Amino acid sequence: MMNNLFSIFDPTTSNLFSFNWLSSLIFLYFLPLKYWMKNSRNFLFCKKLFFFIENEFKSILLNKINLINLLLFLSTFFFILFNNLLGLFPYIFTSSSHLKFSFNFSLTLWMCLIMFGFINFFFNMLFHFVPQNTPFILSPFMVLIESIKNLIRPLTLSIRLSANMIAGHLLITLISESLEFIKFIMLYFPFLFQLILMILEIAVSIIQSYVFSILIILYSKEIN
C-alpha cells in the first residue's frame, strides 16, 4: 500500500527524460485567446483576478524600482496557482508538490534578487547584516545569524509549498484507498469528508501561491 501511496509523487516515466514534468505547461491551454470576437467568461474571470492581485501587490510595492518587477511577481503567482489547482485533477502530475520543482524555482528567484541587490545597492545589502543599535560585541553574531537567515530562505519557501501540497494529496489518497474496505451503506461519511477535504485543498492551493509570491515581494523590498 505504501508503494502505491507514494507512487503518485514519483516523477519517473522514462530513463532519459521524465515527461510528467511537462504538466507544468498545461496552464497554457487555459489562457484566454486574444483573437476571439467576444470576451469569454474565462477571459473576464482571469482579467478580474489579475487586476485584484495586481492591486494587492501594488499596495506592498511602494518603491518605483520594485514596481518594475510587478509583472514577474504576478507571473509567479499565476504559474504556481495553475500548477497547484491542476494537480488536484486525476491523472495530472503535481509538479509543485515536489521539492525539486519548488526549490529550483525559489532558488532562482532568490539568487536574482540577491544579485540585483548587491549590484545596485551594495551598501544597503551590507547594512541588513547588522541591525541598528546593535552592540559592537554582538555584531559578529548578528552577521552570522542574518547570513544564515538569508541562506535558508529558498529552502523555507520550497518546503512550505511542497509540504502543504503533499499533505492534502496524501490525505485524499489514504481516504480513497480505504473506500474499498468500507461497506456501501457507510460510504456516505468518507465521501463527505473527501468533499470537504477537496474544498480545503483548493483553498490551500490559492493561499500557498499567494504566500509564496508575497514572501518574494517582501524579500525584494528588503534590498532597497
Q: What is the pLDDT of residues 193-217, one digit of tens each?
A: 778 888 888 888 889 889 998 988 8
pLDDT of residue 115: 86
Enter the pTM of the model. 0.78
- Take residue 176 and report the three cell numbers written for it: 480513497
Q: Is residue 148 part of a domain?
A: yes
pLDDT at site 10: 59
Give every residue of the chain whose pLDDT is below 70, as ranges. 1-19, 31-39, 63-66, 179-187, 224
The predicted structure's pLDDT at residue 43:
73
Is 20 within a domain? no
Residue 13 falls inside a structural domain: no
In a domain, 30, yes or no: no
Q: Using CA atoms, how far apart are residues 197 and 161, in angstroms rounded to an integer?
A: 18
Full domain range(s) for residue 91? 79-221
The verdict on residue 66 lying in a domain is: no
Q: By the 8 A CB rule, do 97 and 162 touch?
A: yes
Asked if residue 56 lies in contact with residue 49, where contact means CB atoms within 8 angstroms, the answer is no
So what's the pLDDT on residue 121? Answer: 77
User: Which pLDDT value is given to residue 87?
Assistant: 81
* The total number of structural domains that make up the chain: 1
